[in-house]
């Protein structure tokens, strides 16, 4: 007779509430205990995987019907919640998408963008398509307008502001050179004999074919010790600067190609300043610079050759009015003759330095004067940059100098390339090679601050001796030049032979001009000689002040931002509030992302602790079930058949 263990089983069920590891339906609500299978099946899935996880069947945790499976093997078959928590305990992807969708819908409903709220709240699909087209059109118009605004800002248009009479007038540098650069000393002087020897040396070079392309004046320019140019004591006859008398000693003399000696007034030698003094402004007269120049065009009768090898040179002077302290600009000279008056209007120009379209740094050039053998410094101009770079490149490659360019002091020891000492083929090759060693791109930048001048030139005949009856005055002027010649050429002068009529010395010994002035013989003056060899130059400012030109950005950054704001409001209806709405949207998206990633990580530690606790209780339950399956409720061993029937 078999024993009935139903009572004992029911007692165990009432005590533990389990039958073979399953929760009894009637005890589940009271004990609040759930099996590990149900917890795994109810656990949320990993993000991005919306399918439920496959859980091993409950039978995998039951012992083998033969009863030879240990408790450890039964425990190993249970899925580990702690190892799977990082994969399964995350928010559901549907929940994340729902949150994102809710955030976007809420943003579209309350946004101030044109058409976006209409697109979200449209009553039909046709209305939604209509508002979508409107929104796309507005976006295209906005970006097109934005492109043109940024393009205009990048072009950096300049607005020029002129401040009239902003500061007192500053006198510029005035430089004049003789177009006929060769000066003939008196015939009986040693200087004349030296000049004749230079002429013979040039003729020998031309006969040998070594100097066919060089003019006589260029050859004389390249001879350091050749005194062939007009001296300052002879050139400057009368001088007045700002109504103060001056003389030839107040001029700086430089030898410049192609004119030879050039003369620049140096106001500091007169202890005067360049700006107009206040007393002159109060007296209401314009300070000027007045100069009478002796050109010395006459030559000995036996010299009939063209000394300048050209028919394009008039018998005048080359006048250059330039910025104070700069090198005389040969490309801005004017050929004047007779009586010339120049009205100058000075303007101070200031460019914007931060646009990188001008050079804020002004170089100082250390140049060498071949006539005096001394060095001097000048402020660099835009054109001087190119000349200096070309000269340095030729000196580096050919070891010689170009005579038509300014000479730097550091290379003044080199010879000239076309003085007859260098082979022509060698010069052609090295000049071609030198072109690859220099770049003049940076020289095209203008200076950020410089002077600009406007000149008005007027001319008339001069001196008009017959019209004004100034014979006696001109005899005094010529007598003064004769005294200077006698002093500098060893008591030798032939000026009286040129300035007096031929019959003056027909009946007696040659007369001096000083003697003619003392005798009052005005009838002996050769008026044609005076009218050909003298000119008057007057330079005056057109006003007491000069203008100042300032540059400002026509389209600054503030205007760009203002136009962009208007463009945004016109096309897409955005404003500063819209910007904060976008920030709010970003914060909402960040919050959704934090709930997706950070939230499950925080829950994992709590779920892991709960899983470990349930695992401990499950282990005690399985040990108790193992004992019941083997011994029964009364403690006696059961056969395998009974165990199977109890399990069934």
CA gap 628, 624 in Å, rounded? 6
CA gap 432, 455 in Å, rounded? 39
Q: What is the pLDDT of residue 65?
A: 42
Residue found under tokens 């490309």 = 331
Mean pLDDT of the chain: 76
In this structure, the answer to whether residues 342 and 219 fall within a common structural domain is: yes
Q: What is the pLDDT of residue 74?
A: 44
Q: What is the pLDDT of residue 635?
A: 53
In this structure, the answer to whether residues 531 and 603 fall within a common structural domain is: no
Does the pLDDT of residue 67 top 60, yes or no? no
In this structure, the answer to whether residues 79 and 194 fall within a common structural domain is: no
In this structure, the answer to whether residues 535 and 626 fall within a common structural domain is: no
Residue from 393, 419, 376 nearest 224 by CA: 419
Predicted confidence band of residue 92 (pLDDT cuts 50, 70, 90)? low
Residue from 530, 521, 547 nearest 481 by CA: 530
In this structure, the answer to whether residues 595 and 514 fall within a common structural domain is: no
pTM for this structure? 0.65
Could you say which of 524, 548, 572 is where a domain stops? 548
206 domain-assigned: yes
Q: What is the pLDDT of residue 593?
A: 67
408 domain-assigned: no
CA gap 413, 370 in Å, rounded? 10
Predicted confidence band of residue 346 (pLDDT cuts 50, 70, 90)? confident
In this structure, the answer to whether residues 606 and 531 fall within a common structural domain is: no
Q: How many other C-beta atoms can be found within 10 angstroms of the C-beta atom of residue 185?
A: 23
CA gap 250, 214 in Å, rounded? 34
Does the pLDDT of residue 608 top 70, yes or no? no
Kindly report whether the peptide bond that precedes residue 258 is cis, defined as omega within 30 degrees of 0: yes
Which range marks the domain in which residue 54 is found? 6-93+591-647
Mean pLDDT of 212-234: 84
Kindly report whether the peptide bond that precedes residue 333 is cis, defined as omega within 30 degrees of 0: no
Q: How many domains does the chain have?
A: 2
Mean pLDDT of 521-543: 89
141 close to 571: Cβ distance less than 8 angstroms: yes
At 291, give phi and psi (nearest 5°): -145, 135
Does the pLDDT of residue 3 top 60, yes or no? no
CA gap 290, 622 in Å, rounded? 127
Q: What is the pLDDT of residue 210?
A: 59
150 domain-assigned: no
368 domain-assigned: no
Q: What is the pLDDT of residue 284?
A: 57
122 domain-assigned: no
Q: What is the pLDDT of residue 298?
A: 85
248 domain-assigned: yes
123 domain-assigned: no
Q: Give the least confident one: 413-422, 506-515, 541-550, 605-614.
A: 605-614
In this structure, the answer to whether residues 203 and 320 fall within a common structural domain is: yes
Could you say which of 516, 548, 580 is where a domain stops? 548
In this structure, the answer to whether residues 537 and 598 fall within a common structural domain is: no
Predicted confidence band of residue 490 (pLDDT cuts 50, 70, 90)? confident
What CATH number is attached to the domain comprising 167? 2.60.470.10
In this structure, the answer to whether residues 36 and 174 fall within a common structural domain is: no
In this structure, the answer to whether residues 349 and 469 fall within a common structural domain is: yes
Q: What percent of the chain has pLDDT over 90?
A: 12
33 close to 17: Cβ distance less than 8 angstroms: yes
412 domain-assigned: no
Mean pLDDT of 104-121: 74
Which of 295-309, 525-539, 541-555, 612-626 tops mean pLDDT?
525-539
**DSSP assigned state of 115:** T
Half-sphere exposure of 173 (CA within 13 A, CB side): 22
pLDDT 10s digits, 395-437: 888 888 988 899 999 998 888 888 777 888 888 888 888 887 7
Mean pLDDT of 103-131: 77
Q: Are strands 374-379 and 364-369 parallel, antiparallel or unpaired?
A: antiparallel
Q: What is the pLDDT of residue 32?
A: 41
CA gap 449, 460 in Å, rounded? 36
In this structure, the answer to whether residues 473 and 596 fall within a common structural domain is: no
Q: What is the pLDDT of residue 511?
A: 83
Does the pLDDT of residue 219 top 80, yes or no? yes
In this structure, the answer to whether residues 168 and 278 fall within a common structural domain is: yes
Predicted confidence band of residue 636 (pLDDT cuts 50, 70, 90)? low
More confident residue, 132 or 77: 132
Does the pLDDT of residue 19 top 70, yes or no? no
């Amino acid at each position: 007779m078999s024993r009935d263990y139903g009572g004992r089983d029911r007692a165990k069920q009432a005590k533990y509430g389990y039958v073979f590891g399953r929760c009894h339906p009637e005890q589940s609500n009271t004990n609040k205990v759930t099996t590990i299978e149900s917890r795994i099946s109810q656990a949320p899935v990993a993000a991005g995987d919306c399918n439920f996880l496959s859980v091993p069947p409950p039978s995998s945790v039951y012992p083998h019907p033969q009863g030879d499976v240990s408790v450890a093997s039964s425990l190993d078959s249970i899925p580990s919640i702690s190892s799977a928590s990082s994969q399964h305990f995350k928010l559901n992807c549907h929940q994340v998408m729902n949150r994102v969708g809710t955030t976007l819908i809420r943003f579209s409903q309350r946004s101030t963008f044109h058409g976006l709220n209409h697109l979200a709240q449209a009553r039909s699909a046709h209305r939604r398509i209509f508002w979508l087209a409107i929104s796309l059109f507005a976006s295209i118009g906005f970006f097109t307008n934005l492109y043109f605004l940024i393009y205009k800002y990048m072009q950096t248009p300049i607005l020029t502001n002129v401040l009239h009479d902003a500061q007192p007038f500053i006198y510029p540098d005035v430089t004049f050179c003789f177009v006929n650069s060769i000066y003939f000393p008196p015939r009986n002087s040693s200087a004349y004999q030296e000049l004749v020897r230079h002429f013979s040396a040039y003729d020998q070079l031309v006969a040998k074919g070594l100097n066919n392309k060089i003019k006589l004046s260029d050859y004389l320019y390249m001879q350091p010790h050749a005194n062939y140019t007009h001296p300052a004591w002879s050139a400057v006859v009368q001088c007045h600067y700002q109504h103060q008398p001056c003389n030839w000693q107040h001029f700086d003399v430089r030898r410049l190609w192609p004119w030879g000696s050039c003369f620049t007034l140096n106001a500091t030698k007169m202890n005067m300043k360049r700006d107009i003094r206040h007393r002159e402004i109060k007296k209401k007269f314009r300070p000027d610079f007045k100069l009478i120049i002796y050109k010395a065009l006459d030559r000995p009768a036996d010299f009939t050759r063209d000394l300048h090898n050209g028919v394009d040179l008039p018998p005048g002077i080359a006048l250059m009015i330039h910025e104070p302290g700069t090198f005389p600009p040969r490309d801005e000279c004017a050929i004047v003759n007779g009586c010339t008056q120049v009205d100058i209007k000075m303007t101070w120009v200031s460019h914007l330095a931060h646009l990188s379209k001008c050079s804020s740094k002004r170089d100082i050039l250390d140049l060498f004067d071949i006539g005096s053998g001394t060095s001097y410094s000048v402020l660099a101009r835009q054109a001087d940059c190119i000349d200096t770079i070309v000269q340095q490149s030729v000196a580096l490659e050919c070891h010689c100098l170009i005579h038509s360019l300014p000479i730097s002091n550091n290379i003044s020891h080199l010879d000239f390339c076309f003085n007859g000492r260098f082979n022509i083929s060698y010069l052609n090759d090295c000049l071609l090679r030198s072109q690859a060693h220099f770049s003049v791109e940076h020289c095209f930048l203008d200076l950020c601050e410089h002077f600009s001048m406007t000149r008005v030139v007027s001319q008339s005949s001069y001196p008009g001796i017959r019209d004004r009856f100034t014979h006696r005055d001109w005899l005094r002027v010529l007598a003064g030049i004769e005294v200077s010649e006698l002093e500098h050429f060893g008591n030798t002068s032939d000026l009286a032979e040129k300035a007096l009529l031929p019959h003056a010395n027909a009946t007696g010994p040659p007369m001096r001009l000083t003697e003619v002035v003392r005798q009052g013989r005005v009838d002996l003056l050769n008026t044609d000689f005076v009218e050909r060899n003298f000119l008057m130059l007057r330079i005056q400012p057109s006003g007491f002040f000069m203008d100042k030109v300032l540059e400002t950005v026509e389209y600054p950054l503030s205007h760009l931002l203002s136009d962009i704001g208007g463009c945004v409001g016109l096309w897409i209806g955005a404003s500063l509030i819209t910007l904060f709405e976008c920030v709010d949207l970003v914060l909402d998206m960040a919050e959704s992302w934090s709930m997706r990633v950070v939230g499950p990580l925080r829950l994992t530690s709590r779920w892991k602790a709960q899983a470990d606790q349930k695992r401990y209780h499950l282990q005690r339950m399985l040990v108790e079930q193992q004992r019941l399956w083997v011994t029964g409720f009364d403690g006696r061993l059961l056969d395998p058949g009974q165990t199977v029937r109890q399990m069934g």
